[in-house]
Structures are given as structure tokens and as C-alpha cells.
Amino acid sequence: MQKMISAALLIGGLVLLYFGYQETQSLGNEVNEFVTGSPDDRSMWMMGGGAAIAIAGLVGLVRGKIFK
């Protein structure tokens, strides 16, 4: 059961990373970055959260193999 949750976290994190990257490449975000000099908060939260969730899922999957 724990492996399934870890795999779901890893996949969910990767999906958030993908959508966060797509958001950074959008026209609206490019214009916002040109005007303000920094990317949109929404895309940064998606990428940061996606990275944290993906790392948590990866640690959950690898932890069982290391400590067995």
C-alpha cells in the first residue's frame, strides 16, 4: 500500500512539474516576466510543489529498497 502511495506522489509531482513548466512558457507569463522581471507566482508554486511532491514519492519508493 505504501508503494502505491509513493508511486502516486511521484507521478502527481511529475505532472505538476510538467504543468508548471508549460505555464512558464505561456504567452501571458512571458509578457509578465518581461514587464516585471520575474516569472508568475503560480508557475513557481506549481514547479516548487511538484518538485517537493516528486521527491517525497521517490524517497518513499527508494526507502523500502535501502532499509530492507
Which pLDDT tens digit goes with each residue over 43-68?
899 999 999 999 999 999 998 666 55
Q: What percent of the chain has pLDDT over 90?
A: 53
> For 15-45, b where at least 16 C-beta lie within 10 A, e where not — what string?
ebbeebeebbeeeebeebeeeeeebbeebee
Query: Which residues have C-beta within 8 Å of that of residue 64, sequence separation ≥ 6?
Result: 2, 3
Per-residue pLDDT at 43: 87
Of residues 15 and 32, more confidence is placed in 15
Of residues 66 and 15, more confidence is placed in 15
